[in-house]
């Protein structure tokens, strides 16, 4: 996979993380569990995040292995659970992922994007 394509995927992942987090900004877990629209919006972005991670894993497994601080397989696994078991989504896990894992992922994706940008400008 080309560096510009990976950079596009990383940007897409950052947007999905940002959107998912922005939808619950200022909410409590109780608010989230009572708000179906917000649940669906967050779940959709987790689905997109996992789909994008899956594309990177399939197209360039060496890249994913070189950046193992990104939980590629966990994102792919969550995507699969959402896509194949939609009526069995554990909203507690969605909440915990969005409030805990996604902020950590943001930092890793920003570092990765900077690395990609530096490598592209050096070429």
Q: What is the pLDDT of residues 46-93, one digit of tens each?
A: 999 999 999 999 999 999 999 999 999 999 999 998 888 767 899 999
What b/e string do you get for 24-55 counting C-beta neighbours within 10 Å, with b at 16 or more?
Answer: beebeeeebeeeeebbebbbebbbbbbbbbbb
Cα 56 to Cα 1, 38, 61, 118, distances in angstroms:
8, 27, 7, 20
pLDDT of residue 116: 87
Q: Does the structure show a pLDDT above 70 at 123?
A: no
Distance CA 118, CA 123 (A): 9
Helical packing angle, 36-59 and 72-84, nearest 10°: 130
Local confidence band at 120 (pLDDT 50, 70, 90 cut-offs): low
């Amino acid at each position: 996979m080309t560096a510009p394509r990976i950079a596009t995927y990383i940007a897409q992942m950052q947007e999905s993380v940002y959107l998912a987090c922005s939808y619950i900004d200022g909410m409590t877990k109780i608010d989230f569990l009572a708000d179906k629209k917000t649940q669906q919006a967050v779940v959709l972005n987790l689905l997109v995040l996992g789909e994008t991670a899956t594309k990177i894993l399939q197209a360039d497994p060496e890249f994913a292995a070189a950046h193992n601080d990104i939980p590629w397989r966990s994102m792919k696994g969550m995507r699969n659970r959402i896509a194949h078991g939609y009526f069995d989504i554990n909203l507690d896990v969605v909440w915990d992922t969005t409030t805990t894992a996604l902020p950590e992922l943001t930092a890793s994706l920003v570092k990765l994007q900077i690395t990609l940008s530096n490598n592209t400008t050096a070429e």
